[in-house]
Amino acid sequence: MNCPNCGSQNVQLRHIGRKVGSSIGAAAGGLAAMEGASADAVIGSLMPVVGTITGGLIGFIIGVGSGATLGAITGESLDGTVFDEYCCPVGECTFNTQ
């Protein structure tokens, strides 16, 4: 495949949507999990200290992980539609194949 702008063969996938989506998803998931973590921590404090820490931690990890995954899936659907899917480092061009 050649870059339609400068003809370079050194074309790369950008995955901008996926990258941005997974970072936003991780951040959002982390924030949501921290709010949820206080609830988990309350439940967890039925078993004091250990329950509080593990409850909060597990909630946070799950939140970040699922947020990142959801964000990546959402972002990936934007690649090639909202965001140009390819770039070439030579001319710093971005483009889609259609």
Phi, psi for residue 89 in degrees, rounded to 5: -70, -15
Chosen residue from 3, 26, 64, 68 binding Zn ion by CB under 5 A: 3
Residues 6+ away with beta carbon under 8 Å from 82: 17
Q: How far apart are CA 38 and CA 45, in angstroms?
A: 10
* Closer of 76 and 84 to Zn ion (Cβ): 84
Q: Please choose, out of 1-9, 16-24, 29-37, 68-76, the segment that lies near Zn ion by the rule CB under 5 A.
A: 1-9
Tokens for 39, please give them. Answer: 């609830």
What is the footprint of Zn ion within residues 63-92 (CB under 5 A)? 88, 91
Interface residues with Zn ion (CB under 5 A) are: 3, 5-6, 8, 88, 91, 93
